Structure 1
Amino acid sequence: MTDSDEESEFEIKPLLRGGFRAILYTFRRGRWWPPESRICVSEREAMVWINSRLTLRGFAEAYEWGQGAVETEGQASG
């Protein structure tokens, strides 16, 4: 857990018939909230979706676009 007691984790999984499933888990106010999931046509779309959901919740972005989509280890802290 972080000092602010907020945490977010995510994963991107390839699907058998093409595309990717992006899943976002958020811990806030002392509990894990239900995961959010989205099916995306590309891995980049999944990364963009994860970044948008994280920034809406006040977390740092998971991928830095200026440096070639550097992943921050599947975890973001608020």
Structure 2
Amino acid sequence: MLTVDLSPLQQPLSVQNLASPRLAEPIGIHVACGLSMIVVVVMARVTVAVAVAVVMMMRILFCLIQLLLDVVWYGLLFSLSK
């Protein structure tokens, strides 16, 4: 669960409040880092999925070419054996 401390924002702005260490790390930095990590993980998963799909399509294409060559080869052998 995400909780945000808004007490520094409810105080009037002054030089002392702006220099306080509580405002040194705004919540936006943590949200941006979390979102960037989510994007990296999603992109990695998509990349792996695309790579697996390409490999599977190449295997299917290779099997079809091999099947076609077998049909042609056995067709030639059958026609020459007559």
Say which one has the larger Rg: 2
TM bucket (normalised to shorter chain) is under 0.3
Scaled by the length of structure 1, the TM-score of the pair is 0.24
The structure with the largest strand share of the pair is: 1
Scaled by the length of structure 2, the TM-score of the pair is 0.23
More relative contact order, 1 or 2 (CA 8 Å, 6+ apart): 1
